[in-house]
Each structure stands twice: as structure tokens, then as C-alpha cells.
Amino acid sequence: TEIFRSDWTFASKRPLRDHDPVPETGEADCSGLSQLVASGPDVPNDSLRNALLTNIFRARQRVWITTPYFVPDELFLEALYIAAIRKVQIVIIVPKKSNHRLADIVREGYLTRLQEAGVEVLLYEPCMLHAKTILIDDTLAIVGSANMDMRSMLLNYEIALCLYDTETIKQLETWMLDRQAHCSARELLARKSFALIEGVSRLFAPLL
């Protein structure tokens, strides 16, 4: 509620009027531990990006990512690359074709670099995939609004929910495994086959 009110006030330049509280129906399940993380120009220290980087560096078994666009900054890319070198299982699920053609072109260089380190890149076949989810080991699940791109991590107003309870993590794992069943493996491309277009397209990466 505090974040919503803050965003409303920032966008409208006036505070949100108080309304009657929404009545609750049934009993809320408060058994799971969760943490809400906001990011944006009004949040110091890039809290969401820092949380992701910290947990990727700490990962021991796996990092599974689902994202519609994959245009990371260099530090985020290196964190995944180093994790793969450490033999952490890295799986990245992206739509085979997103609704942003330039983002699809720009992502190729990043994905190829990670595949060279042993990262598994899966292309979701049925349709556009807008989900943004991350699983790290068996201890953390993250869902939210942030894409794995520079604008989401460094510029946009985003919000994510970090979930720590075992049951929720298993549910997200099941969902991601189901998405993987509808994917094809991305072919590892030779760098020279797209070196020029990759170099030009990276100029636009911070704008995507």
C-alpha cells in the first residue's frame, strides 16, 4: 500500500484520497515468508538489481530465469557467466519471437556469450511469454514486473516479490518446468555470423 500511494503521488502530483478499506474474505495464508522489493529512480542503490546480483553470486545449484526480453547490463551478464563457470545450472527461457523485434536481435550476442559458458537457453514456442520469474537454488523465488534488461534494472519503476517458503518455490518450479516442455533449445551461433549487426544493435541496448 505504501508503494502504491507513493507512486500515485509521484504520478499525479497529489496524494491518494483515503477510501474505505476493502473487506477481507476468508482467512489469509500468512505461513510463507516474502519480501517486497521496489526499484526506480526514487529508490537508492538499485535495490532490485543488487538483490538479484547478490543472490546470483551466492547461487550453488541453479538459476532459472524466465523473461520476455534479455538485454542485461555487463555486470548482470558477468554474474551469470561466472555462475555458469562455477557449474551452477543456468537456464534462461525467452520467447522464440517477442513483440519487440529489435530486442530479439540485440539479445543474440548476450545469449551466445552465456551459451559458450554452458548456459542452457530455451526458446518458448507457443506464443509471446511475458512472465518475469527467477528461481535460485531451492531457497528463493522472485516474481515481478522487471524484465532482464537495462531499462528495468536501472531506469524503470519496477516491483518484485521475493518468496522464501518451500511450497511456493516448488509451485514456481513446476510452472517453469511446464514452460520448458514447450521450448526448443537455442542453437549456438557462430559469433562472426552476426558480429556486425550485434555491434550496431548494442548501441540501442540501453534504450530497450
121-142 pLDDT tens trace: 999 999 999 999 999 999 999 9
> Taking residues 55-59, what's their average pLDDT?
96
Compute how many other C-beta atoms are within 10 angstroms of the C-beta atom of residue 178.
Answer: 9
Q: Residue 152 pLDDT more than 60?
A: yes
The angle subtended at Cα 44 by Cα 42 and Cα 49, nearest 5°, is 105
What percentage of the chain carries pLDDT values higher than 90? Answer: 50
CA–CA separation, 94 and 77 (whole Å) = 15
> Taking residues 138-164, what's their average pLDDT?
87
> Taking residues 78-92, what's their average pLDDT?
96
pLDDT at 176: 97
- Pure H helices in the chain: 2-12, 47-58, 74-85, 101-116, 150-154, 166-180, 195-202
CA–CA separation, 56 and 83 (whole Å) = 7
Residue 57, φ and ψ in degrees, nearest 5: -65, -30
Distances (CA, A) of 146 to 12, 21, 57, 158, 191: 23, 29, 19, 6, 28
pLDDT at 22: 47
What would the grid cell of residue 32 be?
510463507
> Taking residues 146-166, what's their average pLDDT?
85
What percentage of the chain carries pLDDT values higher than 70? Answer: 80
CA–CA separation, 50 and 17 (whole Å) = 33
Q: What is the DSSP letter of 64?
A: E
The angle subtended at Cα 101 by Cα 99 and Cα 107, nearest 5°, is 105
Total number of residues shown for the chain: 208
pTM: 0.82
